[in-house]
Amino acid sequence: MSDDHDDSPIAARVRELEAALEEKGLLDATELDRALEAFAHKATPANGFRVVARAWVDDDFKARLLDNANDALPDVGLSMGGGLQVQRLHVVENTEDVHNVIVCTLCSCYPIALLGPSPTWYKSPAYRSKVVSHPREVLEQFGLTLPESTKIQVWDANAESRYMVLPKRPEGTEHLTEAELAERVTRNGLIGTAAV
């Protein structure tokens, strides 16, 4: 694995497990590094942008995405696989009345395959604790002020379940192609800390 070491207890346990598996001949560190590099190379926010753009132009895809995102993702050549365990993806839709935001209060669970590496602030204890108790205030710190009538729903990711926000389609974009719409989406919009 990489020489960049995270000093967290979980990271230390992962390194110990890797060492034990290597020692027993059950893990080839070079092969693991290759697999991780291949995964990281494909993990980009552009994947999430494509998913959102497809949902904005294809009502059937959108319905399936909201019902069972894991089953819908192959339509755009994506999946939540690639690790030791397939994670369940839940896509939550912003509407006129509800705005969604995601967090992992325990650590930093995040759909890397669809959103790329998580932003530093997403992993910070300040964001993880405050967005749950004061979501409107946190969103305002990101420059997103919502009407008082808008309900803010906070979704807590975990080891088995990841979340992605389906932002509202911007007004006046009816003439744009799916590819052009994908260019309008932002990673923060997929986390819920920004509007698109």
Domain spans, the chain: 9-41, 43-191
Task: Report percent pLDDT > 70 for the chain.
Answer: 86
Which of 2, 79, 104, 133 is the catalytic position? 104
Task: Report percent pLDDT > 90 for the chain.
Answer: 67
Task: Output the pLDDT for position 10.
Answer: 63
| Main-chain dihedrals φ then ψ at residue 98, nearest 5 degrees | -130, 135
pLDDT per position as a tens digit, 81-129: 765 567 899 999 999 999 999 999 998 899 988 998 899 999 999 999 9
Question: Is there a catalytic annotation at residue 161?
Answer: no
pLDDT per position as a tens digit, 149-160: 999 999 999 988
**Does position 5 have pLDDT exceeding 50, yes or no?**
no
pLDDT per position as a tens digit, 51-74: 999 999 999 999 999 999 999 999
Which of 2, 8, 79, 107 is the catalytic position? 107
pLDDT per position as a tens digit, 137-152: 999 999 999 999 999 9
How far is residue 58's CA from residue 92's CA, in Å, rounded to a whole number?
A: 16
Q: Classify domain 43-191 by CATH number.
A: 3.90.330.10
**Does the pTM exceed 0.85?**
no
Question: Is there a catalytic annotation at residue 8?
Answer: no
Structure tokens, 39: 């995964």
**Does position 136 have pLDDT exceeding 50, yes or no?**
yes
Confidence of residue 4 (pLDDT cuts 50, 70, 90): very low
Task: Output the pLDDT for position 28.
Answer: 74
DSSP conformation class of 87: P
Which of 2, 8, 79, 108 is the catalytic position? 108
Confidence of residue 9 (pLDDT cuts 50, 70, 90): low
Query: Whose CA is closest to 112, among 135, 89, 129, 138?
Result: 89
Q: Do 101 and 155 form a contact (C-beta atoms < 8 A)?
A: yes
Mean pLDDT of the chain: 88
Among all chains, which residue has been given the structure tokens 């967290």? 8
Which of 2, 8, 79, 109 is the catalytic position? 109
Task: Output the pLDDT for position 3.
Answer: 40
